[in-house]
Amino acid sequence: MLAISELDQLRTRLARLENAAGPCGSTNQVGAARYLNRSEEWLRREHARGKGPRRTRCGARGWSYTYDDLDDYRENGDTST
């Protein structure tokens, strides 16, 4: 059986590993806007102007953004041209 101190050490290590990995996978338009610290409306306007982070259609009305594409957009600006 693990002692309390060992459990605390494991919890601390797990939290550190989870934070270091960052988000993975993809998110919707709301999540993308939050991830970029922008509003949903700003993101819509960027795409209407032909700019903004790369996205893919998800269903009839939704959009999906990968965190890799969002990170790339954050670092390099517009990559859709």
Mean pLDDT per segment of 10 residues, for the chain of length 81 residues?
81 81 82 94 95 92 92 81 46
**What pLDDT score does 41 carry?**
96
pLDDT confidence of residue 80: 53
In a domain, 40, yes or no: yes
Q: What is the rounded CA–CA span in Å between residue 44 and residue 39?
A: 9
The verdict on residue 6 lying in a domain is no
What pLDDT is stored for residue 79 in this prediction?
54
Domain membership of residue 75 (yes or no) is yes
Give the separation between CA 64 and CA 42, rounded to whole angstroms.
16
Structure tokens at 35: 């991830």
CB atoms within 10 A of CB 15: 10
Looking at the domain assignment, is residue 17 inside a domain?
Answer: no
Instruction: Please give the pLDDT value at position 25.
Output: 87
Would you give the DSSP letter of residue 53? S
Helix (H) or strand (E) holding 54: none
Query: What is the domain extent for residue 72?
Result: 23-81
pLDDT at 81: 46
